[in-house]
Amino acid sequence: MKRGARVKQIYVAVSSVNGYSHVMKYLDDITSHPQRECIEQRIKIIRFFDDYGEDATRRAFGKSRSTVYLWKQKLKKAGGKLSALAPANRAPLRKRRRIVDPFVQDFIIRYRTAHPRADKTTITPALVAACKSAGVRAVSESTVGRIIHDLKERRLIPKSTKLSINGRSGRLVAREPRPIRRKIRRKGFTPKLPGDLVQMDTVALFVDGLKRYIFTALDVNTRFAFACTYPSTSSVNGRDFLHKFLQVAPFKVTHIQTDNGGEFQKHFAECCRANHLVHFFNYPKHPQANGHLERFNRTLQEQFAYWHLDELDDLTTFNSPLMEYLLWYNTEKPHRAIGNQPPLRYYLDNYINAPKKSNMLWTLTRCCAKTWYPLQGPRRTETSSSMIGTINLILSSMSGIWDFR
């Protein structure tokens, strides 16, 4: 049995939540959790406890009845969210503080102020000589490094900053390095359904001193693609593009994969959290991680962008035919990776329609951004009618996005 199926089965047995949508809502809570393996192990122990009792659980896993009841209580208080079973942080609330001789601390502060960015190897010989003359016990080189770190945290010595001049106000601005943020990597995650993994990127176009950026997105399973052009790669534009894609996509999106660009930070990250999307980051200088989207970027440039460069000065003029191209790409253009079918046809045949369907209903008429026509066919079965309604709804939503910045 696969891991996802096992967790789903255990979850239903423990929390007694009925319905697939409810189950998947809470399973997504630990899909990319850093302590997922520990959570699954605790769920397994709870199930074993319910089936075989207290004595067998203690012999098999070394867990007492009170521990299992505590886990169940956490699940109940969290409303059934599996992340409640993650081990809590065991770090002490009050940590020990290093006791440093005032002479040593003052010497390091004065030395670092006189010689910015001097490291522990540079400071230690001078500190040893000063301590010997003052009759103070010297400290090792490693201890000097730890003291420097503590002094930085207490802001007693300046951190490494870069000074720059604000172009508008003319003021001198000190820019400190950004704090290191832990990023979620894709690792062994394999998408199974449409929307499980959507790759996003930007394509830069530079013509006659004018620079524009095409934000692109592609669903790995169905090859459903979307794009929109913006004047800059700000995170505000990234958020706007994400909103547009969520409005256009015919499926629910759960995971986003991007590079480490600034357009996918701040406002874009806030939008991902607001829509409960898991945001995967590629490793630096590793574009092959977005291989499906990189191939779409090349196709988009060769088949559309390079033929409309003279329209880049007006975003609305450039984006309008871009929508027409995307409608053709998603509804008519065959893709070898999905059996020479257009993305929407592949999506409907494999994830929407019943297994039995008419073979006489497929010929897409030409669709443009402002006018769209239903699929034509000599016969309309119940299945084909629902399919036509679904496609027309998707096409109308794509043709309705005209608010470009």
Model confidence at 25, pLDDT cuts 50, 70, 90, reads: low
Model confidence at 24, pLDDT cuts 50, 70, 90, reads: low
| pLDDT recorded at residue 165 | 86
| pLDDT recorded at residue 179 | 74
| pLDDT recorded at residue 155 | 83
Sketch out the chain's domains with CATH numbers: 3-85 (no CATH), 102-163 (1.10.10)
Residue 206, helix vs strand vs coil: strand
**Quick one: which H or E segment has residue 218?**
strand 210-219
> Is 0.95 surpassed by the pTM of this model?
no
392 or 40, higher pLDDT: 40
Which backbone phi and psi does 396 adopt, to 5 degrees?
-65, -35
**pLDDT per residue over 245-303, tens digit each?**
999 999 999 999 999 999 999 999 999 999 999 999 999 989 899 999 999 999 999 99
Mean of the pLDDT values across residues 195-199? 95
Asked whether 176 and 207 are in contact (CB, 8 A), the reply is: no
- Please state, in angstroms and rounded to a whole number, the distance separating the CA atoms of residues 227 and 328: 13
Asked whether 233 and 261 are in contact (CB, 8 A), the reply is: yes
**pLDDT per residue over 89-140, tens digit each?**
888 888 888 899 999 999 999 999 899 889 999 999 999 999 999 999 999 9
| pLDDT recorded at residue 167 | 83
In sequence order, which ranges of 1-35 are alpha helices (DSSP H)?
3-15, 20-27
What tokens appear for 389 in the block? 């309604």
Asked whether 40 and 1 are in contact (CB, 8 A), the reply is: no
**pLDDT per residue over 153-179, tens digit each?**
888 887 666 778 888 888 888 777 777
Number of residues in the chain: 405
| pLDDT recorded at residue 12 | 43
- Please state, in angstroms and rounded to a whole number, the distance separating the CA atoms of residues 288 and 259: 11
**pLDDT per residue over 64-86, tens digit each?**
999 999 999 998 888 888 888 88
| DSSP calls for 165-191 | E-TTT--EEEEPPPPP------TT---
**pLDDT per residue over 329-371, tens digit each?**
999 999 999 999 999 999 999 988 645 544 555 444 444 433 3
